[in-house]
Structure 1
């Protein structure tokens, strides 16, 4: 069976079906819930079980950039992009370092937003504001990335039948409707749907791509070595340093995403959280590695693509695979919807976290401290709509490739790592040095990025800023000693552990 592709009416029908499913999930998730309660709306009442928590963590880590963006990066960079697998493993390693410990404190204290930990641990108003600003920047950047991926994914997977702009607007409306209706519960349930579709679809995409090149993986590598030897060459020292730097940068940066931290809060129990993270440790091999191979195989299916054209590589390969036979066509429908749903689900996670920071940490703390939770949640929802509207304007002319946007947000968001990781383990860490370290790190990282300075032998500006950040935190805390005006006891003291859920 040949000639099958995701274009015209078939592409529109598939997208429409997934949109309807997401809307129904949002409606069903919102039934009988107290959406006016901040904890219910933003954390699903702290009751996510193993399946929902695993898939919502999976959707947080594997978003539009890891499917639509990573294969093109492998296409352009070659085998040096294998670094994408170990840096996804590093994210789980850092999660395991601090997430279970943070969960116990969050459950005991009733945390809702990521800055609640900063308030509990350090009690510094200026540090809380700085953390909130960096989080909002990171979330806005992350959301912009998903909007760009959404448009490119829809355009590529439908053969441009649905234009970039129309695809973005349509699915943004779907996202706003179901996330408004069901909050975190709706987001988590849509994550389950897209996660299953994505895992199955990406696996079949790999088999289909290999089928198109005759199943000869060695032949693909040999052909690539003949046509573009730089892509299979031993990486230079600079590339190797860059590889290691990205593992550290993304390992710590992705693990302190505001929406990732909220998923830690939303777990039903510490045991549920640990089980979910244990399974997540296998996902880089089942997702990122598969996408990497698809990108390499794509060099033989569509040789010579420009940078802009290669951004739609996944959709182009999916269309070719769909034409093999009916089975592959049906599986590509699954992938087709899964990719779009993955992008939308990741975007709604970022939007939910953005709304929570605005409603609780800005409006609820500084603008109207006496406002009831219902009004705070409403303000957060409206702020999310305004943010999306502004980002949509930017998304019409996206500033660079998905990978460029992806790296940019990590330069600043990674500066949050010391207050979450070091702050959980080092009792002596003080608020003042934490503030000045974070501020210095953010200014250095942002300045180097904006100036385009990259003279550190492959080390990104974000890690240079993080190094300065940590040095100021450590030396400053040692110099000032333990503050007398704020409790600095171990947040997991015996009395805290006594009230923690059993694992």
Structure 2
């Protein structure tokens, strides 16, 4: 019996998971045929996601194909320095807990559908809303590109090259567009649940198989000490500055992903939201930590891989382990489907949020204010498909490793964080100062990124954030109107305190 992922076996696994995703989309549509009747129903699942589904859809958003494929490859390339991946995932949860409960209450009270809705309600500024929408669309397009690349790399690696990179991308993107088109947020959330379970079980089995057949951390440590000693120690000096940069950039930037914020809006209740986020606190150790160890163990399994070859390290290890034992073969089938489904389910949530910003915040707010919800949804779908087609052409020749693509989008996206988070609590926030800070921060981050500038070792996005906050805060103190004593006394202080807890 041929146990390695290749030929017919790889194709059958792809078809199996693809069909499951399609069935979820069709089933969701059949159970809820009015899914296209309102923006809230299509983009937020009618605000009815319970704790378990909400947990898995947060899980799928935070731990995409980039986590399993890209981060293990990065750990293989840089060694123990990649331990930073665990604390910055913890940082994301801490930032969620800072603003998510309060934002949920406001979204339910004021029928907020997108993050730009919140900024429009808070600042009542066309400039702030349009700039934030542009930044979010850029980040979402970048994030979607990352997932398209991950799909191709994952399929090529896990099938030993039998299924070409391009064929894998097209196959799963067509499926994603179809079931997302049919069921909206509910389809996305249910596929997230399926892939999350498969991914967790598969990753742990991959770890066990790697230890059994290729040796544990001591063997990998001996190899690194002999052949790559620079990858064995923890960072010092400049390396610690780099760690701090990642904690700020990823911890804050990833928490304000527009698709993650829409999951906050989709919660059935505040209790469901808090419980799902509490459960997410364990995931940095159970997912990013395990993926890091797998990348380190790969040193002894596949030494001396090039950068391009290391991008397929998870697939190569899964195929090797599957060929050793029927139990591990079944587990790697689960992992294979889980990885691909994780990538696709992340891509579909990104595409859904991309479409919602186009349909509600651009088309519905500024182009055709009289359009029905059904028409807005259709416009968002069509623009989303066009965006996917464009990004597919870019993905044909990827611009860099997954890790590089991942960092690039956060440099820009983190610039909306002050407006979203600080705006929740600071009544004195001044719209023009918010706009000036966001625009300046984004320009500084973009110029520094493309010029390769990192003064004092600080990342371009962090420099942009520092300047952004300075302009926002100083400008708001100088030009903003302090809330009156009556206004302050009428504010729900208890609600703000609970939101931070």
Q: Secondary structure at the match of 2:33?
A: coil
The TM-score normalised by the length of structure 2 is 0.96
- 2:65 is aligned to 64
Map residues 218-367 of structure 1 onto 2, 5 A cutoff: 218-367=218-367
CA–CA distance in structure 2, aligned partners of residues 33 and 127 of structure 1: 36
Which deviations, in whole Å up to 9, do the C-alpha atoms of 1:228-253 show, x marking residues without a partner? 10000231311111011101110110
Q: Residues 105 and 492 of structure 1 are in contact (CA less than 8 Å); yes or no, is this contact kept in structure 2?
A: no
Equivalent residue, structure 2, for 1:33: 33
Matches within 5 A, 1:450-465: 450-457=450-457, 459-465=458-464
1:321 shift after superposition: 1.0
Residue number in structure 1 paired with 2:121: 120
- Deviation, 1:224, is 1.0
Pairs within 5 Å for 1:82-481: 82-214=83-215, 216-457=216-457, 459-481=458-480
How is 1:474-489 mapped onto 2 (pairs within 5 angstroms)?
474-482=473-481
1:23 matched residue in structure 2: 22
3-state SS of paired residue (1:105): helix
Cα distance change of structure 1 residues 110 and 497 upon mapping to structure 2, 3 Å threshold: farther
1:317-337, Cα deviation, whole Å (9 max, x unpaired): 000111121110000000000
Q: Distance in 2 between matches of 1:405 and 1:71?
A: 15
Contact 2:356/2:377 (8 A) holds in 1: yes
Deviation at 1:456, TM superposition (A): 2.4
2:12 counterpart residue number: 13
Deviations 1:83-135 (A, max 9, x none): 00000000000000000011010110011111111011111010000000000
Return the offset for 1:494: 3.5
Contact 1:411 1:446 (C-alpha < 8 Å) held by counterparts: yes
Residues 164, 489 of structure 1: alpha-carbon distance in 2 compared, 3 angstrom cutoff: farther
Contact 1:437–1:469 at 8 Å: present in 2 too?
yes
Cα deviation for residue 497 of structure 1 reads: 5.7
- Contact 2:198/2:335 (CA < 8 Å) preserved in 1? yes
Work out whether residues 121 and 423 of structure 1, in 8 Å CA contact, stay in contact via their aligned partners in 2. Answer: yes
Alignment RMSD (CA, Å): 1.9
CA distance 1:412–1:491, change in 2 (3 Å)? farther
C-alpha contact 1:101 1:492 (8 A) present in aligned 2? no
d(CA) in 2 for partners of 1:205, 1:60:
22
Count of matched residue positions in the alignment of Structure 1 and Structure 2:
495
Residue 493 of structure 1 is matched in structure 2 by 491
After superposition, what is the alpha-carbon deviation per residue over 1:22-67, rounded to whole angstroms, capped at 9, x for unaligned? 0000011112332221100000000000111000000000001101
Contact 1:427 1:489 in 2 (8 A): no
CA distance in 2, matches of 1:468, 1:169: 41
- Partners of 2:218 and 2:71 lie apart in 1 by 21
Q: What is the Cα deviation at residue 491 of structure 1? A: 13
Contact 1:14 1:337 (8 Å CA) reproduced: yes
- Unmatched tracts of structure 2, length 5 or more: none
Deviation track 1:209-238 (CA, whole Å, cap 9, x = no partner) reads 111223x32122122111110000231311
Could you tell me whether the CA contact under 8 Å between 2:44 and 2:262 is conserved in 1? yes
Aligned pair in 2 of structure 1 residues 262, 332: CA closer, same or farther (>3 Å)? Answer: same
Give 1:455 deviation, angstroms.
3.2
> Retained in 1: the 8 A contact 2:39–2:373?
yes
Cα distance in structure 2, aligned partners of 1:481 and 1:89: 34
Corresponding residue SS for 1:456: helix
Unaligned runs of 5+ in 1: none
Looking at structure 2, the residues matched to 454 and 211 of structure 1 have their Cα atoms a distance apart, in angstroms, of: 43
Distance in 2 between residues matched to 1:29 and 1:251, nearest whole Å: 33
- Name the structure 1 match of 2:48: 47
Q: CA deviation at 1:490?
A: 7.2
Distance 1:219 1:68 in 2: 22
Cα deviation, residue 495, structure 1: 11
Instruction: Name the CA shift for 1:184/1:335 in 2 (closer, same or farther; >3 Å).
Output: same
User: 1:496/1:360 Cα in 2 relative to 1: closer, same or farther (>3 Å)?
Assistant: farther
* Residues 429-482 of structure 1: CA deviation (Å, up to 9, x unaligned): 11110000000000000000011112322x210000000000000000000021
Partner SS for 2:309: helix
Single out whichever of 49-58 and 2-11 deviates more from structure 2: 2-11
- Contact 1:136/1:354 (<8 A) preserved: yes
